[in-house]
Amino acid sequence: MQTEELSKQELLSEIKNLRLDIEELKEEKSDLEIMLESIAEHSSEVNNQLHDKNQEMVVYIQNVQRLAAAISEIENNSFELDSIKEFVNREDELGKMARFFIKISSSQ
């Protein structure tokens, strides 16, 4: 087994290089921690947005189901305007369907 003996100057140079490496690693670690924090915050925000959109879709689907029930009511001649009245003034597709159902029911 042969041991390598380094001069004092070589050791000091190696220590200096190691210290520089440590500083670079500390900076990289700090940058990565900042990125991780930013990603965590963004992911929480995205998660909240997804939750909100999911809630909106649940309500929308419930409204579609209520309008679908109006079709059966129209077919059975048991349609009540009050069952879909809240949709009539909407500008979206649900409003169009409600107005159409009212038109159909009034022509019967």
Per-residue pLDDT reduced to its tens digit, 8-66 = 999 999 999 999 999 999 999 999 999 999 999 999 999 999 999 999 999 999 999 99
Give yes or no for residue 96 having a pLDDT over 90.
Answer: yes
Give yes or no for residue 4 having a pLDDT over 80.
Answer: no
Give yes or no for residue 108 having a pLDDT over 80.
Answer: no
DSSP state of 4: P
Number of H helices, E strands in the chain: 2, 0
Give yes or no for residue 3 having a pLDDT over 70.
Answer: no
Cβ distance 84 to 98 under 8 Å? yes
Cβ distance 87 to 94 under 8 Å? yes
**What pLDDT, on a 0 to 100 scale, did the predictor assign at position 6?**
79
* Number of other residues whose CB lies within 10 A of the CB of residue 39: 10
**What pLDDT, on a 0 to 100 scale, did the predictor assign at position 50?**
96
Give yes or no for residue 79 having a pLDDT over 80.
Answer: yes
Cβ distance 52 to 62 under 8 Å? no
Tokens encoding 8: 């004092």
> Taking Cα atoms as reference points, which of 104, 103, 96, 108 lies closest to residue 63?
96
